[in-house]
Amino acid sequence: MTKLSVNINKIATLRNSRGGNVPSVTQVAADVQKFGAQGVTIHPRPDERHIRYNDARELVPIVYTEYNIEGNPVPKFIDLVLEVKPTQVTLVPDADDAITSNAGWDTITHKSFLQEVIQEFQRNGIRTSIFVDPVLSMVEGAKATGTDRIELYTEGFAHQYGLGNYDGVKPYTESALLAQELGLGLNAGHDLSLDNIKFFKDNIPGLLEVSIGHALIAESLYLGLENVVNMYLQKLK
């Protein structure tokens, strides 16, 4: 079964819009695990516009499944990850002013930088994953960095699927097969939803984990958080 890691950034966005601690990031993290999710993901940004760096610290005793911290490996982020020591760190090349992640790494151009950062995390017992587009040369480049896993950036798939173009999954299938051949673990995330997750999972060999936030929280407004988590788990079997 592919594991479900719930990204709780949107809970922090809602909390921050009003101040105080409602809804509680730590309570939602506890609840999604109780409902069956096998992981919790956060993506702190330097301006702390949703998840705050202190949230990452407060989640340490709460997350007993897989704890995944995503972000651009700027010095402040690296220091946070080394302090918190999550199960996994996912390196994402997002600019400070990006609304959301919008591209994978150029793993060839940034090979030396990624190698250095990855080795530091691995020395501290933290599994590494890097965000990549479904491009074979970028998957090969990821292997050369020494990373444990890659996370396929799935916005392109989700857009094509929404248009009815099911062939849009083919680059992802090819990338997944190459990752398996190279011995890379495979994650995926971005714009995956209840509508497209089963089709994606069925076409991606070796898919270990998906990280889903925006769609899952939006769907929960209508269907309820516990119900939606279990709907994803059924589709990922």
70 is catalytic: yes
190 is catalytic: yes
Q: Are strands 88-91 and 3-7 parallel, antiparallel or unpaired?
A: unpaired
Taking residue 13's Cβ as centre, other Cβ atoms within 10 Å add up to 15
Average pLDDT in the chain? 96
Q: Which of 43, 66, 209, 219 is catalytic?
A: 43
Question: What tens digit of pLDDT does each residue of 3-14 get?
Answer: 999 999 999 999
pLDDT over 90 at 101, yes or no: no
pLDDT over 60 at 98, yes or no: no
pLDDT over 50 at 75, yes or no: yes
pLDDT over 60 at 73, yes or no: yes
Domains in the chain: ranges and CATH: 3-235 (3.20.20.70)
Among 29-43, 99-113, 114-128, 150-164, the least confident range: 99-113
- Spatial distance between the Cα atoms of 134 and 139, rounded to a whole number of angstroms: 7
20: left (phi over 0), alpha (psi -120 to 50) or beta: left
Q: Which of 50, 66, 151, 190 is catalytic?
A: 190
Write down the pTM of the prediction. 0.95
Distance of CA 22 to the CA centre of its chain: 24
